[in-house]
A and B are shown apart, each in its own frame.
Chain A
Amino acid sequence: MENDELVQNMILELRRGVLSIAVLSQLSREEYGYSLLKALSEKGMEIDQSTLYPLLRRLESQGLLKSDWRIADEARPRRYYVISPQGRAVLNKLKREWSAMAATMKGMLS
């Protein structure tokens, strides 16, 4: 029981570390919060909305995302997010780092 909680906490930490990469990778085209949440979920990355929205705001304040309120298809305003050129450059570096880290970990765990 104790171990289960410990493992859950560690998994949470692991996921927290990769969330920024996951979100940046899914915003090459515009998404609003809820659609991004669904897109991530469909690809196996379950994320709580109370984690996603603050993360989106943080990435935007760092200049990695751009956003604007718009009324699209339906008559309801939504905030659309998309990766910025700076975000794209950062994502490319993170991708390389992730590949190296994954290879290192694979070597360690095999």
Chain B
Amino acid sequence: MNLIDKYIAEVGKHLPRRNRADIEAEIRSTLEDMLEERKQSQGALDDALIAELLKEYGAPRKVAESYIGPRYLIGPRMYPIFEMVTRIVLVVLLAVALAGLGISLSKASLVGPEFLRTIGESALGLLSGLMTAFGNIVLAFAILERVLPTKEFEKEAEDWDPADLASEPDPDRVKFGEQIFEIIFLVLFLVILNLYPGVIGFGFLDEGNWIFISPILTEAFFHYLPWINVLFLLQIGIGVYLLRRGWWSTGLRIANIILELASIALAVVMLRGPALVALTAEQLANTPLAEEAQLFTTIINLAPTLALTVVIIISSIEVAQMIYHLVKGRPSSPYPVIK
């Protein structure tokens, strides 16, 4: 096998089977033409001359690539959607993992090896989940890349409507309705917890009479109240500032993340602590619920655990979203923008 045969075989390794033989024949033909010309101008042919010619012709892989063009798993048309889906899935996974960690910590000891093991196991679980999710997304998009016809994308590009631009939300713009609702909710909650804790309970109508069972909050709950007050007041403060300003800034996002993390921490501590609600069967003795007292007390006593778990999950998702916005950021405009 001479040098040219070896070279062509090497190029062939990187060519698709379908037209490999044809391309190999063409390269051989060209090389022989080139050699013929050199032979005429330089005299005898030797390996050094052939090697020089092959060097000039190019590295086998590069020559093969020039015939087949760029190859990719996920091409430029699918990449933006792939990136968006990946980000969303990874952020959601992160939020779920944080919530899971919160729940695990609420059940585990917060000191010593058990604490470290809980953190380690959560981190490993998250890593494995992230890799599996990423692998699945890549696989799905690699298949879509090969299955979806190009015409679909061209049609979408032709059908776009400038009116759609207006509906594109700005992630930095404060959602006024959401903020106002949150502030009203927090203020109401603060007022009730601090001034009228007696209204916390549950009531029902019995043959036209309103029966109300209260109070059911324990001493343990009121130990946490100062912390709840501080967190709620800070949250209200940020909310009011956001309404005045109208735009999120990096500092505000960081402050909000810290506040949300503090809320998660407090919720975890409350979950781990003594019961926050104490409803006994005796309190229901003279009511129509007496027969089902056991069931009702179980449901009511479980309510704080459920509520705190929901708080941890929602706060974790919000933290993940805020971190996402913070990391994603946006390039500053070269033009002055009046906000």
Contacts and interface: CB of A to CB of B under 8 A. Distances in A.
Interface in B47-62: 57-58, 62
A59 to B, nearest CB: 14
Contacts of A53: 23, 26-27, 30, 66-67
Contacts of A35: 33
Q: Which 4 A-B pairs have the closest CB atoms?
A: A34-B33, A50-B66, A54-B66, A54-B67
Contacts of A41: none
A53 to B, nearest CB: 6
B90 to A, nearest CB: 36
Interface string A40-73: 0000000001110110010000000000010000
A77 interface: yes
B262 interface: no
A35 B34 CA distance: 10
Interface residues of A, number: 15
A50 B58 contact: yes
Contacts of A54: 66-67, 69
B28 to A, nearest CB: 9
B30 A33 contact: yes
A57 B26 CA distance: 11
Nearest to A55: B66
Contacts of A57: 67
Contacts, number: 39
B219 interface: no
Interface of B: 23, 25-27, 29-30, 32-34, 57-58, 62-63, 66-67, 69
A34 B34 contact: yes
Nearest to A69: B25
A78 B32 CA distance: 10
Contacts of B67: 53-54, 57
A76 interface: yes
A108 B27 CA distance: 42
Nearest to A34: B33
A77 B30 contact: no
Given A34-B34, A49-B57, A50-B58, A79 B29 contact: yes
Contacts of A69: 25
A50 B69 CA distance: 11
B38 to A, nearest CB: 12
Given A33-B29, A34-B34, 19 more contacts: A32-B29, A33-B26, A33-B30, A33-B33, A34-B29, A34-B30, A34-B33, A35-B33, A50-B63, A50-B66, A53-B27, A53-B30, A54-B66, A57-B67, A69-B25, A76-B32, A78-B29, A79-B25, A79-B29
A77 B29 contact: yes
A53 B19 CA distance: 13
23 contacts: A32-B29, A33-B26, A33-B30, A33-B33, A34-B29, A34-B34, A49-B57, A50-B57, A50-B62, A50-B63, A51-B66, A53-B23, A53-B26, A53-B27, A53-B30, A53-B66, A53-B67, A54-B66, A54-B69, A76-B29, A77-B25, A78-B33, A79-B26
Nearest to A79: B26
Contacts of B23: 53
A63 to B, nearest CB: 17
A51 B29 CA distance: 16
Contacts of B29: 32-34, 76-79
A35 B37 CA distance: 11
A109 B29 CA distance: 43
